[in-house]
Structure 1
Amino acid sequence: MAEKEFKLPDVGEGVAEGELVNWLVAPGDTVTEDQPVAEVETDKALVEVPSPYNGTVKELHVEAGQMVPVGDVIVTYNVPEEGEDEPSESPAPAAEPEPDAGAEPEAESDRDTAPADDGAATEAAAESSGRVFAPPSARRLARELGVDIGAVDGSGPGGRVTEGDVRAHAESGGAADDGADGGSSGPKQVDIGSKTAAVSKTGDGESGGAAAAGATPSSVEAAGRDRTLAVPATREAAGEAGVDLDDVPTDESRDGEAFVTTEQVRQYAQAVKEAKAAESAAGADDPGAPAAPAETGNGAAASREPESVPYRGVRRTIGKQMAESKYTAPHVSHHDTAVVDELVDTRADLKARAEERDVKLSYMPFVMKALVAGLKEFPTLNSELREDDEEILLKKEYNLGIAVATDAGLMVPVVKHVDEKSILELAEEVNDLATRARERKVTREEMQGGTFTITNFGAIGGEYATPIINYPETAIMGLGAIDERPVAEHGEVRAAHTLPLSLSIDHRVIDGAEAGRFTNFVMERLENPSLLLLE
């Protein structure tokens, strides 16, 4: 056996370091090439880092939560030398444990290249060792479809399993067969290292933590596993609630490992909290009972000591970007209000037709179309100032960034070529990007190339704001909440649906008068949505 050191690779353009959020393997685990071994959060995204070797994990050099510079050694493998037999995996055909596919974007280093030897000997070796040759993308798809990747016949070189193989297996009923032996009733036994933890599945799909809500702390059943898979947002929720993930009951697993969701953490934390309250009440009735310990969670008796939260990853990138924009571009904000009764009626008329096509229709696609019309009329708002070259670049593409609030901070996925897409196409794409951004599945490439940004603070009830420009863009439009407000018309006041607008501009490039004319142009199309048919 030979020792091989694996250094943290460059997981994104311009990335110098990353936070190792979670290890997906432990010393002694057998790994295969391309198998994800760690989750790393950079200042751009959360990615899976795949193993470059087939072998056994000898040593992990970095603790979870530690910042690691690109190029530092993070893990050492024992790798078979040429002519040696590769280490065999456990007899179970299940694939290696991996986190939920909905948690992060695919790593740039994911690849579909085949092993060098694609002959019958390679197929036989893979078959005899129980290993599965599959890229992370295929493994991720298998998890999403509920397919045991070890049961999929690979059609790629050397028996490699492709995404098409996984889909074909699922369509042939393989996903149902894979879980048939477990059934849906009674506790499910999941092998976790040296322990076997029971994870119950109730009829209504709730975890055991909810069922224990009325119990005392001694009767709140803790799973007590050695290892639990969870996405970073769930781990953060567990930390905030003071809950040990290994104690949270779950009815889910990923490749033989228990998998816990954020909702299950909340249910379990609530169960523990209510149980402690019940115990305290029981102690109050019994003068001889020992005093209950002070609450250490988020309750009224929680510690008043300040809590230190790491400022890194995506949050730090957002901070740097906002600071650069605010201190580089002199911001000016222009506010106005559009009366959008006709837009409200138009959207209501089209909403049912959109639902027939399985599309949720919001006001955003109409606003996007109106903004693109305005950007074509006033091109300096779709521009970039290149100071070093002493020029203003007027862009001819209309790629609108949509700011989305997530657990990790504000992310801005970009809808490309808005001028070439219909209202329904935009609605479908916006919904998809926003959902994947919240689930940390949006890729770095999908957050690049924007020419103008929209931020919808009205979604949480606001009216006006002074949004910060998404530098190096030169303008951003903020949307308030569409609501009924008093409007004076022809000497009378009536209730009308209005949309507050807040436009921030880079005053080095755009004059205030031009910002006002641009806003009026956009408002005209929002107030008379039939004009959008001319675009």
Structure 2
Amino acid sequence: MTLKTLHFPDLGTDDASVIEVRVLPGQDLQLEQTVMVLESAKATMEVPAPMAGRVVEVLAVLGQSVRTGDAMVVVEAGAVASSGLDLEAALEQATQKLATLEAKIDIKPENILKAPDLGTEAAHVLELMVQPGQVVAREQSVMVLESAKATMEVPSTLMGTVVRWLVQVGDAVVSGQDLLVLQTRAEERGDSSPQPEKAVPTAGTPLTVVRQEPALSVEATTRVHAGPAVRRMARELGVDLARVEGHGPHERILKEDIQAFVRQQLSQTKVASQVTVPLARSVADQETALRRYGEVENQPFSRIQRYSAQHLAHAAAEVVPVTQFDLADITDLEAFRLQEKVALKAQGVNLTLLAFLVRACAHVLQRFPRFNSELRADGEGIFLKHWIHIGVAVDTEGGLVVPVLHDCDRHGITDIARRLGEASVLARDQRLRPEDMAGGCFTISSLGGIGGTAFTPVVNWPQVAILGVSRASLQPVWDGEAFRPRLMLPLSLTYDHRVIDGALAARFTTALAEVLGDVRRLLL
């Protein structure tokens, strides 16, 4: 019998969550059969099997966060296909295996993870972040608790394999309560001399932040101790890890340290050297307050909607937005589009106005390269990008996604129209890959198919500009002799005023309107 471990392929992102497991131990596996379904911050993806065989063991569990190269399943290569999978037998086998594992474990006090000091009477279990069979490292977050004052992640003080949870989602827990049973080895329980740990700030009590301004040096930067999740959080918030004091083992920087540092920076306008940060009310309190006036429905965001909300809030806080409004005469363009639409339809291409907009923006971005830039991290300059990849906002049932069309300056309108159609189908079917939404330097958000006369789109940070397009309408325009009915397209250009000034923005929309007014300019 030849056993082979299958690993997760290149995910195109830092990590993703397992939202569906399609196989069980004992099941026959076919080549290219879907083994698991993953969900990242940007897309949902199916992971196919690279070989056929019989599943021996499933190594990744539901809800687990995985990365490229992590172990997925163990497969017996060349196993003879059976007549079918007995689901009840497989489940019974898994249950017996878990029971055997539990029976072998001596559940001593050091094998049980307890709730830390919550700083409140009780908190409710909001999310269980690990599942039985999953290996947990020290300081890894294992659950999320929600009190009347705050939401907090509970880190593990032990290293080992999860046996079972002693609480469930929705249960109320108190400080010191048993939460989780772990299978640990002697070395994992820390029988050797333990390292002293500093007090870790928790989200259950008011947080006192003391001002500190440690010197920044190259030596300090190279000695930073932080995990991938913490480093990613620091990058997203723009925090220099060399300036953050770690409170974990061996001065390791934790998420709580990042949060404390950010609060400290935000409080520097205070006169006092110490400030107490108030904590927000909980969702439960909010819902209770709303129900005083009538019935309400608590409707959670999808993962994409949660990511979009966080990204947009960060963009709104980061960018200094100004919106330039203009009108483009597309009377001749629309006549040309309708003339060519039928012929291209026979070729399977839907020639939309958006295809012309993408190509026209690519043309104008070449003339105004400052719109195709990114502000430097120190705020003292910009990076000019020598590629033109344009993102197009697509509204789907799961939320707003922005597929990116690469090298728009090198493709004709017909090819762009074809690629737009393919991207829209992938977006609405939730089959976009992370790389399909990466690398954008300018974004177009079109509401023309819905309505409206103008709006102020939010810049897709770290980009510096976004074009909003509303519905075109017939308007009387003076041509020097008389008023003529012309089809006018509203343009709304939002830009980061730190990078682009008003005069440059007006020149950009004027140039774009000129190109849309006469598409022959694209040939120049």
TM range (shorter): 0.5 to 0.7
Instruction: Calculate the TM-score normalised by the size of structure 2.
Output: 0.54
Instruction: Indicate which of 37, 46, 59 corresponds to 1:48.
Output: 46
SS at match of 1:18: strand
Q: Distance in 1 between matches of 2:61 and 2:390?
A: 39
CA deviation profile, 1:60-99 (whole Å, cap 9, x unmatched)? 8745xxx32227999775x55xxxx96422348xxxxxxx
Unaligned runs of 5+ in 1: 93-302
Residues 310 and 423 of structure 1, relative CA distance in 2, 3 Å threshold: closer
Name the structure 2 match of 1:442: 432
CA drift of 1:308 comes to 3.5
CA drift of 1:334 comes to 0.7
Residues 45 and 387 of structure 1, relative CA distance in 2, 3 Å threshold: same
Residues 369 and 2 of structure 1, relative CA distance in 2, 3 Å threshold: closer
What pairs up with 1:115-514 in 2 under 5 angstroms?
A: 304-312=295-303, 314-388=304-378, 390-487=380-477, 490=480, 493-514=483-504
Q: Is the 8 A contact 1:27 1:60 kept in 2?
A: no
Name the structure 2 match of 1:69: 65
Q: Distance in 2 between matches of 1:423 and 1:10?
A: 32
CA drift of 1:484 comes to 2.1
SS at match of 1:458: coil
Name the structure 1 match of 2:522: 532
CA drift of 1:494 comes to 4.6
SS at match of 2:448: helix
Q: Is the 8 A contact 1:463 1:481 kept in 2?
A: yes
Residues 361 and 34 of structure 1, relative CA distance in 2, 3 Å threshold: closer
SS at match of 2:351: coil
Q: Distance in 1 between matches of 2:61 and 2:71?
A: 6
The residue type equivalent to 2:365 in the other structure is: L
CA drift of 1:372 comes to 2.2
Q: Is the 8 A contact 1:24 1:38 kept in 2?
A: yes
CA drift of 1:488 comes to 5.0
The residue type equivalent to 1:307 in the other structure is: N
Q: State whether structure 2 residue 2 is matched by structure 1 residue 11.
A: no
The residue type equivalent to 2:11 in the other structure is: V
Q: Is the 8 A contact 1:19 1:42 kept in 2?
A: no
Name the structure 2 match of 1:192: none
Name the structure 2 match of 1:249: none
Q: Is the 8 A contact 1:18 1:43 kept in 2?
A: no
CA drift of 1:23 comes to 2.7
Q: Distance in 1 between matches of 2:43 and 2:481?
A: 54
Q: Distance in 2 between matches of 1:429 and 1:75?
A: 33
Percentage of matched positions with identical amino acids? 34
Residues 304 and 354 of structure 1, relative CA distance in 2, 3 Å threshold: same
The residue type equivalent to 1:18 in the other structure is: S
Instruction: Indicate which of 21, 24, 27 corresponds to 1:23.
Output: 21
Bigger share in helix: 1
CA deviation profile, 1:453-499 (whole Å, cap 9, x unmatched)? 11111121232111111211111111111232344555865532110
Q: Distance in 1 between matches of 2:60 and 2:336?
A: 59
Q: Distance in 2 between matches of 1:419 and 1:10?
A: 29
Q: Distance in 2 between matches of 1:373 and 1:31?
A: 50
SS at match of 1:496: strand
Residues 55 and 388 of structure 1, relative CA distance in 2, 3 Å threshold: farther
CA drift of 1:28 comes to 3.5
SS at match of 1:459: coil
Q: Distance in 2 between matches of 1:364 and 1:56?
A: 47
The residue type equivalent to 1:41 in the other structure is: E
Name the structure 1 match of 2:268: none
| RMSD of aligned alpha carbons | 3.3
Instruction: Calculate the TM-score normalised by the size of structure 1.
Output: 0.53
Number of aligned residue pairs: give it: 314
Q: Is the 8 A contact 1:400 1:453 kept in 2?
A: yes
Residues 433 and 8 of structure 1, relative CA distance in 2, 3 Å threshold: closer
CA drift of 1:45 comes to 1.7
Q: Is the 8 A contact 1:9 1:70 kept in 2?
A: no
Bigger share in strand: 2
Q: Distance in 1 between matches of 2:385 and 2:448?
A: 28
The residue type equivalent to 1:89 in the other structure is: A
Residues 75 and 378 of structure 1, relative CA distance in 2, 3 Å threshold: closer
The residue type equivalent to 2:54 in the other structure is: G
Residues 57 and 492 of structure 1, relative CA distance in 2, 3 Å threshold: farther
CA drift of 1:27 comes to 4.5
CA deviation profile, 1:400-435 (whole Å, cap 9, x unmatched)? 111111122222112222222222111111112222
Q: State whether structure 2 residue 88 is matched by structure 1 residue 90.
A: no
The residue type equivalent to 1:90 in the other structure is: S
Q: Is the 8 A contact 1:457 1:479 kept in 2?
A: yes
